[in-house]
Structure 1
């Protein structure tokens, strides 16, 4: 297989070139596809995975070369919808991704600004003042299902700065195309730095300049998934991608607003978050629904959502719009791998050498559930596994369930985890309930209607499932031991080299 060293990944196009050269990682079609529900409907079968309605699967990234209504653009989906594929593009092994990002946070390299004439994202320029300007015709944003509030930009890297300190942040938000120069933007209350920036601007009655970069280096997309406390306000997540690539991310000044954007992105949308302005998310459809979100359900349309007034769109020649399906494995990669890194970092600082690995499970969309592989080496380690779980909740506030397993259980193998649940867990003594804790409002079970004990939507009972063997009983829970052999002698096509 070709390695990342053979193709130097620096943007979306070089990442796709790498995938083309690795069998099973990329396909494309010349069949005309409608971005309104059909495109996502196709990829649901091809490779969505995650919490998407079954049947689905983990499959290749897919390029749609002919998109109805957009003759000069292509749409790619599923670039990050496989842990193996993400590892390939970031130059590591799938089970090492959390460690890679943890190390990148510690070795962050700040972004740099390059001259506008060197920025490929501004090869083509369109301004809202142009008579024929229409965001709906310029950007082939898909509608994920027939029920959606409208076309959504699901893979837009939103970049904005604190109006007082000028510290910058990049995050991914739910963006709905509402009109020829209007986007709506969902900001989870109290959970995103850009929300804090906007609150400051709005109190002054000022708009907040914001750029939206679409189609970027996968290292940028994954690095943007970090949240506090790992990356507190003032920490620019683009510096994480810089560390992964050992080279700073290049930014460029926007044309119509006082803000920066990612210089080699496929598309840039420039605009302003308007103060004291809100709109219904489903204003054009009255569907009552937004779009499919990571828990696997279509979220309700927000009755009053933030508004971006678009001032310009720039893009590369023959641009590629990158999109994803909200509940897909792609969300697991973007949200889950930074979650793993955050937990690994916090627990390692508190109790070095005991937490061996973490998997932010696909069943929780990379946010709700984490499996922690913990090693007890001495009698006094008993109980520390539960302390590690508490630290995990602190490292990522939207985490709902933690499953603790021993060092002989593979946290990435759900069958192995469920085996531990069935043979090393007793519900009455190995379950820890932590009620009334803030989690994430998109979980439909986290409502007073579902549980009258909850005082507000978004509160939850967080749970620890301790599936580790008590230290004094470890010798009685030894798995059946098999002879160590070199399987390559007998099945060389399946095992091209000796199992390590």
Structure 2
């Protein structure tokens, strides 16, 4: 992570905050006002960064590709990077969360929350890594939001069914490509291999005392998830609204490993980094799915759609029905997707005005809008029904084949 920050500083993308700042509201509020990386040198006496992947330019820079080539680059992933054993974690001390500048982000939050902690777990030889928000309970326990049916929750159920606890290690302050990899739906157990692939082909990992493998990080918290639960929430999620209170599993930390003068990483809830890490990993998945039914050119999950609920898909039509097939493929690839707009190659999907232009000039409401009721939606959408279902809408904003000349836009010679 330090190497990435240094690279971003050379590009003028880092703002150093030397004055003392508070973990309660102040630092999150400052992060909400800029896309730059904010490097806090005195966050309640500690060092910390926010907005590490504050925009697509930062992700492109980390990958070494052009911003508009991101999705095509990520869609070519094979999840076959090499994970190299670098020995055991050393220098552990008893866990003490009071030594970490965990933030309180909004006045309605239930408490201090880890927001960039990657939970690495292993059970029966199966590894997993994913980000979970974690509310601090005391100096060695947090309560984590584990979405039902996701891999961490599945491994926990398997461990509890055998009367065991799930061993975990939470890293804070990893390289942003490692963080991105753990936010991506990959084949089972391939998160570390995918991170290695994104990092250039190889990733070194160390093994904690409980057997869990972790990559380089500023802070590593080692522990277990058992049968204990506690109230978690309210907490601001991707839409900027408060997620409800739930009973969730408690993680008890036994040891912690820290670099000298560690740099804490915090993600602003509902901020641009949160939206990027939630949505961008789904773009290559949608890209591949649409590519199975028509000529796909690009995919974007928009900021206005909370980086998660709205997609714009750019295609090259081969037959008149391709846009509808693309809509259905996109919904199948990302089940939390709520609205999708399909556009032609001449529309700039990164320009919301151009996308709106396509809707304004190429859509007939009676023929070009698909409404699909009674389907699974996102649990984060405030409009979801009590049973979790919602309504999805697809918009075919492409030119009717054979009428292209009628839609040709004027341009200067």
Normalising by structure 1, we get a TM-score of: 0.80
Instruction: Map 1:335-350 to 2 at 5 A.
Output: 335-348=278-291, 350=292
Q: Is contact 1:149-1:291 (8 Å) kept?
A: yes
Question: SS at 1:314's partner residue?
Answer: strand
Give 1:384 shift: 1.4
Specify the alignment match of 1:142 in structure 2. 103
Match of 1:52 in 2: none
Q: Is the 8 A contact 2:293 2:325 kept in 1?
A: no
* Alpha-carbon RMSD: 1.5
Per the alignment, in what secondary structure is the counterpart of residue 195 of structure 1? helix
- Report the counterpart of residue 308 of structure 2 in structure 1: 367
2: CA distance, partners of 1:61 / 1:273: 33
Cα distance per residue 1:191-213 (max 9 Å; x no partner): x2111111111222211001111
The answer as to 2:404 corresponding to 1:474 is yes
Partner secondary structure for residue 287 of structure 2: helix
For 2:83 and 2:409, the matched residues in 1 are separated by: 49
| Deviant stretches of 4+, over 4 Å | none
1:20 alignment partner in structure 2: 9
Residue 226 of structure 1 corresponds to which residue in structure 2? 184
Deviations 1:79-124 (A, max 9, x none): 10111121112111111111222122x25214222113xx6xx5x5
CA contact (8 A) 1:253 1:260 kept: yes
* Equivalent-residue separation in structure 2 for 1:177 and 1:364 (angstroms): 30
Greater displacement, 319-328 / 291-300: 291-300
Mapping of 1:407-486 within 5 angstroms?
407-448=345-386, 456=387, 458-483=388-413
Partner of 2:158: 200
Q: Classify the secondary structure of the residue corresponding to 2:22.
A: coil
Give runs of aligned pairs for residues 99-498 of structure 1, distance below 5 A: 99-104=72-77, 106=78, 108-116=80-88, 122=90, 124-128=91-95, 134-135=96-97, 137-161=98-122, 163-164=123-124, 166-190=125-149, 192-227=150-185, 231-232=186-187, 234-255=188-209, 257-262=210-215, 264-275=216-227, 277-281=228-232, 289-302=233-246, 304-348=247-291, 350-351=292-293, 354-376=295-317, 378=318, 381-448=319-386, 456=387, 458-483=388-413
Q: Deviations over 1:382-434 (max 9, x none)?
A: 11121112111111221111111111001111111111111111222211111
Equivalent-residue separation in structure 2 for 1:356 and 1:402 (angstroms): 15
Distance across 2 between alignment mates of 1:390 and 1:299:
29
1:36 and 2:24 aligned: yes
Segments of structure 1 that go 5 or more residues without pairing to the other structure are 1-11, 48-58, 129-133, 282-288, 449-455, 484-500
* Distance of 1:436 and 1:396 partners within structure 2: 16
Normalised by the length of structure 2, the TM-score is: 0.96
Quick one: distance in 1 between partners of 2:402 and 2:345? 15
CA distance in 1, matches of 2:220, 2:111: 20
Q: C-alpha deviations, 1:201-247, integer Å up to 9, x for none? A: 122221100111111111111122222xxx23x24222222112223
Superposed, 1:52-67 pairs within 5 Å as: 59-67=35-43
The answer to which structure has the higher strand fraction is 2
